[in-house]
Structure 1
């Protein structure tokens, strides 16, 4: 009789467990930042609203908020996902532990230093940005090597890699600003972070994965993911970015209107009415609905600027995109990856549902806040809702990343 194969060891060392797979380490960086950076921002909002003293900062708080949420909070989740799936998409060797451990350490340390720079230690900005850029370049190197090995044949991988290249440009501009460059460099870095990095990479992952997930669980589902729709989304996002960088927002509707129409068509083509169950699939479609809505708001904002010379939308379109789409899709997709790679059932569960519903409330409050006569209490309320919704989810997720898989498998 053949002896049973022994179960893989179950390490008790949290660091060893954390580095067992790239998504564990990088998702933990993002999870920590989800709370840490928003605690700082909530206090910044309260201080600005009530005229309270605030520690010396390396850059204006609004810039830091945008930068930290893009490059130090959402980007680690993106890097963790791509470091995990690139070898599978491309049928290439796994990313070695030393590589993703380096990305983990540099992004965690760098993001922490940037936050310290905004909390009374402004001299920490330069080393923080340098560390983040170094970690980013390590990730680009290992992912680029695998893309080259695969002959650049996978459109989704090429698209995601190009978005990461844009992110590297944004981080470089931010570092140049910290080294004494003009303020416009940091402003450009923030715009690139949204429309050169996050919109393209989120759109790419959605284009590849949502029809795939749907086809796996829905009877009679018809997969629709033409290459032209992905290319169109990327081109229009970059067009928005170009018009933004050129400071001609009144013409931005030329990109935003067709973008909203294309995104709405794509959402409908993916047949969201069929995806009411299971919940882990339904939330992906709810999150995705924020994307055409946000670009519709961007178009309305731009048209108002063209026709009337001013707009009352303020930052409502941006927060429909960042909280509504980025935040909701983050909870939906990261919950799926976390459960799937920890031997747990592919189901939402109470804590992810609480986080997802809470983010919908936070997004709605923040979008509508700009229409209020006294918006500051609503700004603070939206930030508080973010923290309330995500704190249990972050704590639960961190525990999963630091403990072995339930099924005893490695990774």
Structure 2
């Protein structure tokens, strides 16, 4: 069947949602960084600028990346056919309406903004559940639990914004971010050692392959989800911190067993290892923040930039290349983007180390992130809009 570029874009989850995630990651942080750099020179149309930034990176960017992955992977897991174009048009439109409502939240009724923004994830989860029930497996259904926790975080933010509570937005934003990072513990913990093992076997290596013990995986995943739930429930920070510390330390041990050094000449692989490690480090920092040893804001940005940003960029680019039939070799602009995001995370960390570094660190971090997503969007633009190549790349 011959498709126009627009129909091709709407023919697969990895096309439309990974493009939207890339463009939104680029534009939202570019606007935010400019607003920070010339603070007070212009007004944003959002109701709460600081909250808008945090909300949109977690529930805007994060939900698009999750949607693109699951709507691509779930049909493969269950051997079911692709979704129709009408479904991708409707769901991507719903996601865009949520972003527009949040952008205009300064002029729209808070209840309308909440209704529009909260609609996307339940639609996504319902479709994924319908797909997974064709061949249900517990290790796949747990993803829906993480999506539910993510949605509950969004719900708590809007509960305060519509005036039904006085202090639930912060815990909703933090709980939502931790839910995304728990998803990385789950999905990153599967794909990183698996893809590394496959690459080693293709090159004839049959010894010292990545090791991924199930008990250690459980020690990373369960406390990560518990940290998100404890945060959403408003439990003492020390409880969420203890769970986060266990998750992070377990995650660091896991990634040390995955032979990351072997991937040093393959950016499309080492970025998975590095991003998983930064995500685990973010959990460790969050645990230390609970006992006032580090800045909580620094920990949250390590999770958001190094963990969520790094892993989603890695998975989106790999999935886009692989499912479009292209070689699993990161184009040079994308490989550069992989390297820029850890630098963005370090710059944001430096911003919390000294008052003199605060604004330079924030601006540097924003610029590095923006450049990374500009490179990603530019390099993969033909992949999202173009025809699928005939010979699929090896998984």
TM-score, normalised via structure 2 length: 0.89
Larger Rg: 1
TM superposition shift of 1:243: 4.3
TM superposition shift of 1:186: 2.3
The one-character-per-residue Cα deviations of 1:65-124 (angstroms, maximum 9, x if unpaired) are 11100111122011111011112223344334333332111002211321233xxx4317
Count of matched residue pairs: 385
* One of 71, 87, 92 as aligned partner of 1:99: 87
Distance 1:260 1:149, change over 3 A: same
The one-character-per-residue Cα deviations of 1:123-159 (angstroms, maximum 9, x if unpaired) are 1754444233322222111111122222x3241x112
* One of 152, 159, 162 as aligned partner of 1:169: 152
1:237 aligns with 2:224: yes
1:153 aligns with 2:137: yes
TM superposition shift of 1:389: 2.5
Give runs of aligned pairs for residues 287-366 of structure 1, distance below 5 A: 287-303=275-291, 305=292, 313-366=295-348
1:213 aligns with 2:213: no
Q: Distance in 2 between matches of 1:265 and 1:27?
A: 30
1:136 aligns with 2:121: yes
> Structure 1: 5+ residue runs without aligned partners?
1-7, 306-310
The one-character-per-residue Cα deviations of 1:239-284 (angstroms, maximum 9, x if unpaired) are 3234434352245442233222211111112222232242211221
Q: 2:347·2:364 contact (CA, 8 Å) conserved in 1?
A: yes
Q: 1:130·1:175 contact (CA, 8 Å) conserved in 2?
A: no
Q: Distance in 2 between matches of 1:316 and 1:93?
A: 43
1:54 aligns with 2:50: no
Runs of 4+ in 1 over 6 A off after TM superposition: none
The one-character-per-residue Cα deviations of 1:53-75 (angstroms, maximum 9, x if unpaired) are 4245312x222111100111122
Distance 1:43 1:183, change over 3 A: farther
In the other structure, the counterpart of 2:16 is: 25
The one-character-per-residue Cα deviations of 1:17-38 (angstroms, maximum 9, x if unpaired) are 1112121111122122112211
Q: 2:101·2:117 contact (CA, 8 Å) conserved in 1?
A: no
Q: 2:11·2:88 contact (CA, 8 Å) conserved in 1?
A: no
> Structure 2: 5+ residue runs without aligned partners?
none
TM-score, normalised via structure 1 length: 0.86
Distance 1:125 1:102, change over 3 A: farther
Q: Distance in 1 between matches of 2:158 and 2:148?
A: 15
